[in-house]
Amino acid sequence: MMHAHRFYIDGEWVEPCVSKTLEVIDPSTEQPAGTIALGSAADVQRAVTAARGAFASFSQTSKTERIDLLKRIVDILKRRNDELGDVISREMGAPLAMARAEQAGIGATHFEQTIKAIETFAFDYMQGSTRIVHEPIGVVAMISPWNWPINQIACKVAPALATGCTMVLKPSEIAPFSAVVFAEIMDEAGVPKGVFNLVQGDGPTVGTALASHPDVDMVSFTGSTRAGIAVAQAAAPTVKRVHQELGGKSPNIILPSADFAAAVSAGVRRCFGNSGQTCTAPTRMLVPAERMEEAGLIAAREAAALVVGPPSDPRTDLGPVASGAQFDKIQTLIERGIAEGAALVAGGPGRPSHLNSGYFVRPTVFARVTNQMTIAREEIFGPVLSIIGYDSEEEAIAIANDSPYGLAAYIQGDPQEARALAGRLRAGTVRLNSCAWDSAAPFGGYKQSGNGREYGKFGLHEFSETKSIVGFLDE
């Protein structure tokens, strides 16, 4: 059992202002994994005050000082990687090997990429007689999700530190313990007092208090579009910057020129990775209509080969989804897909037959889906794939763009054809032919998938204000 009954504020582990706790559930057993203290508006006030107090000095540190700090963090992240992965596996259900290699390992990757970016980033330069200066935006409230907990913490904290910002982090109360380990790493690395602060709690209390606080200069939020709207509304009266990475319903267009079996198989695996709990998951597979039956058979075979089981079992491909609420939502949407007439070709309602407890979902594939069905419109956030047919390239583009979301899109097929189509997709990231992830590429969405960009030099811009000093040189 893990417990997190103190918050990290102003360089110290402190008792909360109000004595209130929340039970954290292990999704693989449905049993308590530990408890956390729930923060209050008073705790937020303490943390923001500490961050505001530290900003005056930290914002004036040199690039060299901040690079040295980032390098120390990388070293400790790598040393504590397996411990961090173990915690993530227990709190949100990722298979242990994946939690160590990907969920935890991605944290150091973001910090290393930020170091590369800051080394060449021009914080000030001349434009004629005017000096252009990029300055830290100030105190940043960071609200992070449970599905990739360290990924979303690292890609906010790294650029904030690099630019000279101070911050208050509120991790998800569903997967809170990895943030505690992360705070320990910040402390061990020697992050100055007040620069990094951690307050646990729920969205309506701590999240709202952070988003609305007049001394917070920016909110960086990752989560659902519904919650993102609430954060933006809370932040609006103080006109602070609001950066959001929100929901997705990403299309995966398989062109006639693709290696069809390989493309369908790869699309299923990418959709179901992390038990489907990835905002960029390609959950809408678009295939030539005349190959719908073939696509369904390939996808069903791929889904059936996936092992669903306890995160600690090395044979496990998919662990549980992260919470009971998420499990119930997924079950409701699977039932809706059946009711609306989609062809269920793999999986379906309920747990896999060999599991009688835990939030385990059967890898589910629907064929003959139309883009108007609920399962094609709503972000399910579970291992559920919808296969949609198209009759022409133009129709495929139209279907892909017919969504309130625009976070990511995928194209499989001839590289020249794929490149030509990429510019027509309304999405922040377009991935061609199962390419590798690029940790330096800007990450963020169009439409209701959010605004702003993270990763590499783009994160540095996001956490900066731009100042022009006109007449800096006397002509």
Catalytically active residues are: 245, 279
Distance CA 178, CA 225 (A): 24
Inter-axis angle of helices 81-92 and 105-120, nearest 10 = 120
Helix (H/G/I), strand (E/B), else coil: 22: strand
Q: Which residue type sits at 155?
A: C
- Tokens (6 digits) for 430: 């377009």
Q: Which residues are CB-neighbours of 96 under 8 A, at least 6 positions away?
A: 85, 86, 89, 311, 312, 314
Positive or negative CA dihedral for 383, 388, 394, 400? negative
**How many other C-beta atoms can be found within 10 angstroms of the C-beta atom of residue 87?**
26
Q: Do residues 222 and 145 make contact, with C-beta atoms less than 8 angstroms apart?
A: yes
Q: Which residues are CB-neighbours of 426 under 8 A, at least 6 positions away?
A: 401, 406, 446, 447
Phi-psi region of 433 (alpha: psi -120 to 50; beta: other; left: phi over 0): left
Distance CA 370, CA 165 (A): 46
Phi-psi region of 381 (alpha: psi -120 to 50; beta: other; left: phi over 0): left
Helix (H/G/I), strand (E/B), else coil: 167: strand
Phi/psi at 247 (nearest 5 deg)?
-75, 170
Q: Do residues 165 and 463 make contact, with C-beta atoms less than 8 angstroms apart?
A: yes
Distance CA 169, CA 203 (A): 12
Distance CA 75, CA 41 (A): 34
- Tokens (6 digits) for 307: 């092992």
Q: Do residues 23 and 1 make contact, with C-beta atoms less than 8 angstroms apart?
A: no
